[in-house]
Amino acid sequence: DAGVTQSPTHLIKTRGQQVTLRCSPKSGHDTVSWYQQALGQGPQFIFQYYEEEERQRGNFPDRFSGHQFPNYSSELNVNALLLGDSALYLCASSFRTGSPNEKLFFGSGTQLSVL
């Protein structure tokens, strides 16, 4: 049973560029959440997708957008990259949205460096 997979594992971009990160949820999961973890901080919630729609959003600018596909996989897109976007981006999957008891299953993350 494959867990949550993310690609790529590492990425180097320059300021102003655009980036797309990908996530495949754990088998049987239908909800995908994205988190940004900057150095020395806990993961910060970006947004959550369920039934191919953004259901919740954290305090991130519109440069951060996403998509969920019919097979439940998801993409995170960041436009006009800033140096401050350098971080580890984590994808987490779960079954059903909104249940406070649902554990999240995380991928290993994509380390994004913006130069």
84 lines the binding site for other proteins (CB under 8 A) = no
Q: Determine contact, residues 44/38, Cβ cutoff 8 Å.
A: yes
How many residues make contact with other proteins (CB under 8 A)? 25
Smallest separation, CB 94 to other proteins (Å):
10
- Contact window for other proteins (CB under 8 A) among 12-20, 32-40, 62-70, 77-85: 32-40
Q: Determine contact, residues 11/100, Cβ cutoff 8 Å.
A: no
Smallest separation, CB 34 to other proteins (Å):
12
How far, in Å, CA of 37 to CA of 28, rounded?
26
Quick count: other Cβ atoms within 10 Å of Cβ 87?
A: 20
Name the region of 98 (left: φ>0; alpha: ψ -120 to 50; beta: rest): left
89 lines the binding site for other proteins (CB under 8 A) = no
Under the rule (CB under 8 A), what is the footprint of other proteins? 3-4, 33, 35, 40-45, 48, 56, 58-59, 90, 98, 100-101, 103-109
